[in-house]
Amino acid sequence: MAWVIWFTGLPGCGKTTVALRTKMLLDELGVRARILQLDEIRRVITPKPRYTEEEREIVYASLAYMAKLLNDEGVNVIVDATANRRRYRDLARELIFHFGEVYVKAPIEVCIERERIRVAEYAPQGIYDKAASGAAVPGVNVSYEEPLDPEIEVDSSSMGIDEAARHVVGRIMALFADSEHLI
């Protein structure tokens, strides 16, 4: 049985960096996984995003369903998406039997600084600066609902990338030990 893990946290907390390193470590162990990066997928679903609540509902439901479809086909999935409302992540949890939530924590000040210097392939630039002009930014002018009981938690402000990714891989191995996809 394949599994899905959803990396959540504020923009700039290190979700993408830790998710990519986690995938690399899993690859080294012979465990295959597909990453679904919301910032990449959003370009197809909403090429001119408005970041409204209605749009977020559609985008996150689509992402959860994509993960479910891949999972149904036996693909391990790593979802990399803020998903500022718990209900977005809870939908995935309802749809997917072998599901785990990875909460990547960092103080908002650290996230803002990281976003300022970030060079990302898909993520929008200057996300926290846009909040000043009224754009809806999780953690600033739109609430971010922390997971209540995540299966995996890392503090990217006190853990290095390798340490965080190794912790995530260890927890994946423990959570899904019965999975044939951990061979």
What CATH number is associated with residue 155? 3.40.50.300
Residue among 67, 105, 107, 111 nearest 88 (CA): 67
pLDDT of residue 142: 66
Residue among 182, 180, 156, 152 nearest 168 (CA): 152
In angstroms and rounded to an integer, the radius of gyration of the C-alpha atoms of the chain is 16
Under DSSP, is residue 100 helix (H, G, I), strand (E, B) or coil?
strand
Could you tell me the pLDDT band of residue 126, with boundaries at 50, 70 and 90?
low
* Section 29-50 average pLDDT: 91
Tokens of 18: 């830790």
* Section 138-157 average pLDDT: 86
Report whether pLDDT(183) > 50. no
Number of domains the chain is built from = 1
Q: What is the tens place of the pLDDT at every residue in 69-89? A: 999 999 999 999 999 999 999
* Section 107-114 average pLDDT: 87
Report whether pLDDT(135) > 80. no
Report whether pLDDT(48) > 90. no
* Section 57-71 average pLDDT: 97
* Domain enclosing residue 69, as ranges: 4-182
If you average pLDDT over every residue of the chain, what do you get? Answer: 88
Least confident of 107-121, 128-142, 150-164: 128-142
CA atoms in the 13 A half-sphere facing the CB of 47: 1
